[in-house]
Structure 1
Amino acid sequence: MTRIAFLDVDGTIQEHGDAIAPSTVRAIRTARANGHLVFLCTGRSAGDLHPKVREIGVDGEITNGGAFGTRGDELLFADPMAREDTERVIAFYQSEGMHYFLQSNDAVFASDGVGPFVDEFFRERREKAREELHRLGAAEDEEGGAEPPQVIAYQPMDGADLDAIAKSTFISLRPDGVERAAAALGERFHVVRGSIPLPGGSNGEIGLRGTNKGSAIARVLDRLGLDARDAIGIGDSWNDIEMFEVVGTPVAMGNADPHLKELAGRVTTSVLEDGVWNAFAELGLV
């Protein structure tokens, strides 16, 4: 029986410092060789996926938390926010003095103050990536001595097309930043805790209500003529809840929040402890 697996990226395929367990690469490639389908299902924009994630090879991608879907080179759907929605989100950030990112499907754009605020944080994450790669037995010259890519590769905000924004993330110095965003923006917007660790008191993700990983998976399954009962969803983040609700077999990573593990019901090991491989093995994909 052919099955389809939807995999979160940060905290599932790659550790948040961008290290990838070799067994994860083997798991995805072996599952596909065995006739199963594997899709990325991430909050990242397509243009911000780590090159080593792309090198693995998958059958398709859900990006920007469900706003875009592709299979190979075919665009299945594209649902960026309306310009007035993006402008409303920006106005909220400015009223709160928050640093923020805007995501199109091709790139990530950072507000003016975010660079100095996060550069040191990202440097620490890149150093952690080096340590994790060494621990996993990666060759010392694997990166060619070059500085690893940033955790988020961002561009100046003045280059953003406000008619093409699909999602936004923010950094709040307050511990209740996510709650304040949800209250201020109302039911039209979907606000969840951020999936990539960032500095500050709290961070979150904002998209349109009804545009999420779960709704995107349902659209992909419909286009491919596949049953949700045969779908697997593996993740570790708050934006994976809707994915868990749609697929027949939800799996939480060992590094996920305890509440997410409870929602999924099935739990594998952590991202750098063969989590994807062990899940695929238990489910018969490898």
Structure 2
Amino acid sequence: MISPRIAFVDVDGTLIETGSEIADSTIDAVRTARSNGHLVYLSTGRASVEIYPAIRDIGFDGTISSGGGFAEIGDELVIERTMPEDAVARMIGFYEESGYDFYLQSFDELYPSPGVRDRFAEDHAADTERKAGTGADPASVTDADDHPALMAFADVRPYSYTGIAKSVFLAGDLRAYDRVSEALSGEFHVITGTIPHMGRGSGEVTLNGVNKGSTVLRLLDRLGLDAASAIGIGDSSNDIEMLQVCGVGIAMGNATDAVKAHADEVTTTVLDNGVWNAFRRQGLI
């Protein structure tokens, strides 16, 4: 009898490609692994509200969201790792002084600065045009006339200073990551590379010590599972700690070399059956 295992699967660049496309084999892999008695958790930098219903409908045992800020077992929120109000105020103050666009993530809300929606709208339009030129027609996890992320980012309102786990900054300034790191890294964990086309002009900020890996360990402890039985699959810089703490860390074929350097294995790319091949190699399916 196969001992049950637990897999933590990143979303963008791992489960789905470029915000919406998903391989049929990925859906089959998740559902087959669970039917075989294994646990499969999402582990994403997205806030819970940014996880499209079509992704949740694939079926998962729980979710780590906001880059480790929150964790759910099923639909129950069991871990919250949020920032003190004064830390949020300092972070917002620095962004505004620098003229950077940004958004804040709470468990169930996004708080964008006024320029965020236009930035993502431009990116979405460019990506749609690129896909139209390829002739490819992979499945999509979005079907709304207006992309759901754009709808969320259009809701500009006063920022919340409570319940915030993470922020994302967006700037045309390629020195932005260095500037944010210099200003905030004493109190915060600052990374870049999670929005590849923006390079060092964007990044993610959580409290020091808050990342996917440390939250995976807290969740495994709550579930009574050993990290040695865990599999982590990802492609980006916010996945590195997760790959390090899991018994087997697997980088996607489309991951950066820096991420691959922290992995035990490398699978194929996101639309080339990457998750399926990883699950098959590990005996989950």
1:173 corresponds to which residue?
A: 172
Contact 1:122/1:150 (CA < 8 Å) preserved in 2? no
**What pairs with 1:40-79 in structure 2 (closer than 5 Å)?**
40-79=42-81
Identity fraction in percent: 45
CA shift digits 1:129-177 (9 cap, x unpaired):
67789533x49xx977845434783243424322121100011222221
2:250 corresponds to which residue?
A: 251
Please state how far the C-alpha of 1:4 moved relative to its aligned partner: 0.2
How many positions carry a matched residue from both structures? Answer: 283
Amino acid at match of 2:225: L
RMSD: 2.3
1:187 corresponds to which residue?
A: 186
Unmatched runs of 5 consecutive residues or more in structure 2: none
**Distance change >3 Å, CA 155–CA 255, structure 1 → 2:** same
Deviates more, 1:27-36 or 1:121-130: 121-130
Deviates more, 1:190-199 or 1:246-255: 190-199
CA shift digits 1:68-94 (9 cap, x unpaired):
111112221112211111111111111
Amino acid at match of 1:203: S
Aligned residue for 1:28, secondary structure, equals helix
TM-score w.r.t. length of structure 1: 0.91
1:115 corresponds to which residue?
A: 117
**Distance change >3 Å, CA 36–CA 204, structure 1 → 2:** same
Contact 1:107/1:154 (CA < 8 Å) preserved in 2? no
**1:231 and 2:230 matched:** yes
Q: Distance in 1 between matches of 2:27 and 2:134?
A: 16
Q: Distance in 1 between matches of 2:40 and 2:4?
A: 11
Contact 2:64/2:212 (CA < 8 Å) preserved in 1? yes
Aligned residue for 2:266, secondary structure, equals coil
Contact 1:67/1:80 (CA < 8 Å) preserved in 2? yes
Contact 1:234/1:250 (CA < 8 Å) preserved in 2? yes
Q: Distance in 2 between matches of 1:254 and 1:239?
A: 16
Contact 1:125/1:151 (CA < 8 Å) preserved in 2? no
Unmatched runs of 5 consecutive residues or more in structure 1: none
Amino acid at match of 1:228: A
